[in-house]
Chain A
Amino acid sequence: MTREEAHRFGRARHLVGIAGVPEGVRGETGVIVLNAGLVHRIGPFRLHVELTRQLNAAGYPTLRFDLSTLGDSAASGGQQTRTQQVCADLDDAMKLLGERAGCERFVLVGLCSGAQNAHMVAATDARVSGAVFLDGYAFRTLGYKLRHYLPRMVDPGRWARRLMRGAGNGSTAAVPKAAPQPVFAVAPAPREEVIADFTGMVERGMKLYLVYSGGISNYFNHARQFRECFGKVMSHPAVTTRYAAETDHTYILTGDRARLLDGIGGWLSHNFPPANAGRHP
């Protein structure tokens, strides 16, 4: 059995979150789930609720919460940069889960901007011993461009359609497809910096799980691209990668979501086996 607790917490009591504490569990690795984009703590299509409850059932204490100014959380009132604010919010979150469940080490889970925020904290906070980055940092590599453009260049049908359009209306300009609303986005960061961060994380013993989806095909399109983007650190035994080409960015289909949750659960139990595993059906 797990009880879920609603908390207002943080240095300015400005944060709101739901802690899931499995009965009888003390000192396990705590899992903290960060906001994805502007969606409040329940996550896209309730992804974070399903994830935290599944992990509670496996014996992990969890916290899904809203960062400053997102969801139900307010601003802290201090004069901090967004980076300082995110780090301080995560510090508050780790302290809360430490108090409620005795956790001393933590795994951060983030999708999109959540992955970016998790990355930022994981790179600097020694309490973070693992991270799950869902559609986090990525870069268009030469391989990406070849996989993206080459099939289009050698597709005779595509050329024929292009010529037909030109002959038909006297214009060669294609009608652009309506772009979806930019709700989710990962701000770019220098590639060398990201590689150095990943290297530092694994050197200090962190375990990483990178899951990228077909929903970011405008900059990521193959499992090989993890290595193309970040180099040899992706082959380190502490790093697990998965490319789910068929899924969208926010896991709108429940089957895709279930496979993601099973993947995260399996990775956690392999890397952070709970002492009380199996006690929490």
Chain B
Amino acid sequence: MRQDAEVPFFFGPDAALFGMYHAPAVPARRAVLMCPPLGQDLIRCHRLYRQLAQSLAEQGLAVLRFDYHGTGDSAGGSADVDWERCVADATVAAAELRRRSGADRLVAFGARLGGSVALAAAEQARFSEVIAWDPVLEGEAYVGELDAMQAALREDASRFNQPRSHSDVAEQWLGFDIGETLRGQLLALRVAPASVPTLVLDSLPDAAGARWDRIVSRRGKVATIAPPTPWADLERLETAILSHPLIQAVTGRLKEVA
């Protein structure tokens, strides 16, 4: 692999966003923007995102991985993460990817809330397609899930010698400070269908295809990935999420529509 084909850099206003650009061997006609999930999912998916980016670059696509404000290596504290800003950052990243790659046609990929960001930013960022892996469509249920895991964490005997106080675990989700703004934004989140073709990759444990109907347009489709991904398993909170079937599904899809 050409080491210099993967370029770490800062970009955007005040050079505050971190990105990793994967350049293909020859100039690309298409590019892929990889929108990360938030919180611990971002850390768990880091390796998989890198593997997928490398596979896509080998396929001749230009790829940009990046971190939103307040996440990963980008500027800002974890408590400053803001949904609207994540969507805006995805648009800034899309412009940066177009500038670096010279490709105008951009596909967005995202896991969990990264998929939701990709769908929400589709129009503004002029994506030609969105590939969303287990995207979060209804924020209220997702917030409930995180709150329940955080409550269970307080008395997780495999982690703490003694249960922790309620104040010790307050205003956090699984390792990260959560501002009131983000909580409110996610509670109100109801992702609208994107105006572009959408592929949903479904690996949720209790798979029920009907739940995606609302966002998959006439030109879109749903594909199931096995085995299920343990997104919400407290015991595997610090275990990386790796999925060869996911990489095959995304690379396969982008070969298909080349």
Q: Give every chain A residue within 8 A of B144 (Cβ-Cβ).
A: none
Are A39's CB and B172's CB within 8 A? no
Are A181's CB and B238's CB within 8 A? yes
Are B175's CB and A252's CB within 8 A? yes
Are A246's CB and B43's CB within 8 A? no
Q: Give every chain B residue within 8 A of A179 (Cβ-Cβ).
A: 158
Are B172's CB and A6's CB within 8 A? no
14 residue pairs A–B, Cβ–Cβ below 8 Å: A6-B18, A18-B18, A38-B47, A39-B43, A42-B73, A44-B175, A45-B176, A72-B6, A72-B50, A181-B238, A248-B159, A248-B160, A250-B238, A252-B175
Distance of A177 Cα from B75 Cα, bound (Å): 41
Are A6's CB and B46's CB within 8 A? no
* B244 in the interface (beta carbon within 8 A): no
Contact with A along B152-169 (1 / 0, CB 8 A): 010001111110100011
Q: Give every chain B residue within 8 A of A249 (Cβ-Cβ).
A: 159
* A245 in the interface (beta carbon within 8 A): yes
Q: Give every chain A residue within 8 A of B75 (Cβ-Cβ).
A: 4
Are A8's CB and B175's CB within 8 A? no
Q: How many residue-residue contacts, CB under 8 A, span A and B?
A: 108
Distance of A6 Cα from B236 Cα, bound (Å): 30
Are B169's CB and A253's CB within 8 A? yes
- A217 partner, pick from B10, B73, B161, beta carbons under 8 A: B161
User: B interface, how many residues as a size bin?
Assistant: 35 or more
- A180 partner, pick from B10, B18, B72, B235, beta carbons under 8 A: B235
Interface SS of A by simple majority: loop
Distance of A184 Cα from B159 Cα, bound (Å): 13
Q: Give every chain A residue within 8 A of B3 (Cβ-Cβ).
A: 8, 12-14, 74
Distance of A183 Cα from B159 Cα, bound (Å): 13
Are A6's CB and B73's CB within 8 A? yes
CB proximity of A23 to chain B, nearest CB, Å: 15
Are B239's CB and A45's CB within 8 A? no
* B58 in the interface (beta carbon within 8 A): no
Are B240's CB and A38's CB within 8 A? yes
- Chain B, 2-21, CB within 8 A of any chain A CB: 3-4, 6-10, 18, 20
Given contacts A181-B235, A250-B238, contact A16 B8 (CB under 8 A): yes
Distance of A214 Cα from B78 Cα, bound (Å): 25
Distance of A215 Cα from B237 Cα, bound (Å): 15
Are B20's CB and A246's CB within 8 A? no
Given contacts A4-B75, A6-B9, A46-B78, contact A253 B164 (CB under 8 A): yes
Distance of A41 Cα from B157 Cα, bound (Å): 28
B interface list, Cβ under 8 A from A: 1, 3-4, 6-10, 18, 20, 40, 43, 46-47, 50, 71-73, 75, 77-78, 153, 157-162, 164, 168-169, 172, 174-177, 235-236, 238-240
Q: Give every chain A residue within 8 A of B46 (Cβ-Cβ).
A: 40, 71
Are A214's CB and B7's CB within 8 A? no
Instruction: Identify the interface centre among A13, A42, A71, A250: most chain B CB within 10 Å of its CB.
Output: A42
- A246 partner, pick from B10, B158, B161, B169, beta carbons under 8 A: B161
Contact with B along A36-77 (1 / 0, CB 8 A): 011111101110011000000000000000000001101000
CB proximity of A151 to chain B, nearest CB, Å: 12
Are A215's CB and B159's CB within 8 A? yes
Q: Give every chain B residue within 8 A of A18 (Cβ-Cβ).
A: 8, 18, 73
Distance of A42 Cα from B77 Cα, bound (Å): 12
CB proximity of A81 to chain B, nearest CB, Å: 21
Are A13's CB and B73's CB within 8 A? no
Q: Give every chain A residue within 8 A of B236 (Cβ-Cβ).
A: 181
